Structure 1
Amino acid sequence: MKTFKKWANRISSIIIYGLLICMIFLVISSKMAGGTPKVFGHEIMTVLSGSMEPGIKTGSIIAIKPVNDPTNFKKGDVITFKASDDPNKLITHRIIDVQKVDSTVQYITKGDNNDAKDPSPVGPGSIVGEYNGFTIPLVGKLMSFIQSKTGAIYLLIVPGVLMVLWSVFSIWRAITQMESKKETPVG
């Protein structure tokens, strides 16, 4: 039984310290990336609307692969681009038509769940990347929380407080075990 408790304590400590290290890594990497973390060369983004449902759910995270040549997309590709009215807003929609205009190309896009196409064609200069099919539902809500100031504070403080409480508990347990050994008569 003592061996089981010893291993349970070690595993609990590893989990708590691992959680703290992971949270510190997530907070720092998202802050260093300027809000869009990168994993294996793909930008991780949060889906904020239901325009691409049911394939891409609201609150999911998706991986966007940056592209070198934004003029080679075809009908059916899903791209992420800057909105024409707000360059800080990113939209991920499917290309429904490719139009050649003079010496360049324009893409007509539409969300899978939308009734109408997007109001403005998308030029190659507005394209950020291509959606490669990787999505994890609901994790985007957690990522948005992590990237907020409140989330960063909670995700650093809560595991830190858990570590301190676990350490206090471990010290208290060790002291009571030492006291019980002193009280036990030898003989």
Structure 2
Amino acid sequence: MTFQRLRTALARLAGFALTVVLVGCLAVFGLIALGPHVFGYRTATMLTGSMDPGITPGDVVLSVPQPASEVEVGDVISYHIPVEDHRVETHRVVEVIHNENGTVAVRTQGDANEAPDPWTATLDGDTVWEMKTVVPWIGNGIRALRTPFVQGKIFWAALGLMLLVGLSMIWSRDDEDDAHVPTDAHVPTEESPEPRRAAYADALASLSEELDDEYALVFAGQWSDLLPRRVERVDVTVSSREVSDALDAVLSLKVSSVTVGACDLADAAALIEAAVRDEDWALADTVVSRIPDLADRSRADLTACLAA
């Protein structure tokens, strides 16, 4: 693999990696930041293994509100514990108590714990948050982003990523420009006129055999007279960036040039055709700029062939 191909591969890999990161970030942002406001659910990150194996540390729990009066044994709910720091706990309900004053209390237990939690919690308000689904591992990433180390380095990491992507775009553009610059193998070069004129003689001989000598000469004269108009039409339509019009113009130039033996001009027209189909307007413009000189040379060669 050449260095240029390696650069292109690295640039594409960096672009793909950036796309994956951006899509992932947007998904997490939508889940954590926008989703609760739009769909009304609540998210909480599981910090312990008390609910293994169903919910593991780092999983994000999505809960939806439901009336406290409808809580049943077996539900997994998120609620504030009535002791210590009143943190939010996500455990399974093992007992529901309906108090005389109309409130609802519950006893809970972690699936991985051997005994129920050592408290009875009265559910505040009319609703409670019941777990509906679990999104694995996202919480680990969120917690990592909140650490001082990551927050202190995230700016430089983001800046480095932006620079890498910028360089990859520049490398890709340079590679594309190099690939699209016409070389001597693509655009006809100056050569001895004898081989070129031989092509005209062969083409006119074929026309004479298929039709007649007089019509071959008439067709050659008409091609020469119409050539400036065809060249101008190619220039105008390519400049307009209208694919269908440009193809129509360049195909007319290519087919007519092949018929009379103007191979160099036909090859250049074919190159423009390919560039237009790919909408590579930079390459099309480059070749179009050389068409007038090729057209003048082709008319001169045809005239010399007819006079011989």
How far did residue 51 of structure 1 move? 0.9
Change (3 A) 1:61 1:29: closer
Change (3 A) 1:139 1:28: closer
Structure 2 counterparts to residues 117-156 of structure 1, below 5 A: 117-125=116-124, 128-132=128-132, 134-148=133-147, 151=150
Contact 1:27–1:147 under 8 Å retained in 2: no
Contact 1:19–1:159 under 8 Å retained in 2: no
Change (3 A) 1:156 1:61: farther
Say which of 89, 97, 106 aligns to 1:99: 97
State whether structure 2 residue 83 is matched by structure 1 residue 81: no
Structure 1 counterpart of 2:71, which letter?
F
Larger radius of gyration: 2
Q: Which runs of 5+ in 2 are unaligned?
A: 1-6, 190-308
State whether structure 2 residue 45 is matched by structure 1 residue 43: no
Provide, for residues 11-66 of structure 1, a one-character-per-residue CA deviation record: whole Å limited to 9, x for no partner: 96465256347537856985x68xxx727322222111111111212221111113
Provide, for residues 59-97 of structure 1, a one-character-per-residue CA deviation record: whole Å limited to 9, x for no partner: 211111133x2232111111111122223x110111111
Alpha-carbon distance in structure 2 between the residues aligned to 1:183 and 1:10: 24
Task: Using CA pairs under 8 Å that are at least 6 residues apart, name the structure with larger relative contact order, 1 or 2.
Answer: 1
TM-score normalised by the chain length of structure 1 = 0.70
Structure 2 counterparts to residues 1-187 of structure 1, below 5 A: 13=15, 16=18, 19-20=21-22, 23=25, 26=28, 38=36, 40-67=39-66, 69-84=67-82, 85-87=84-86, 89-103=87-101, 104-125=103-124, 128-132=128-132, 134-148=133-147, 151=150, 158-175=157-174, 178=177, 187=189
Change (3 A) 1:93 1:175: closer
Structure 1 counterpart of 2:92, which letter?
R
Alpha-carbon distance in structure 2 between the residues aligned to 1:138 and 1:18: 17
Report sequence identity in percent: 25
TM-score normalised by the chain length of structure 2 = 0.46
RMSD: 3.9
Mean Cα displacement is larger for which, 172-181 or 73-82? 172-181
Paired residues in the alignment total: 175
Contact 2:14–2:168 under 8 Å retained in 1: no
Alpha-carbon distance in structure 1 between the residues aligned to 2:63 and 2:31: 17
Q: Which has the higher strand share?
A: 1
Q: Which has the higher helix share?
A: 2
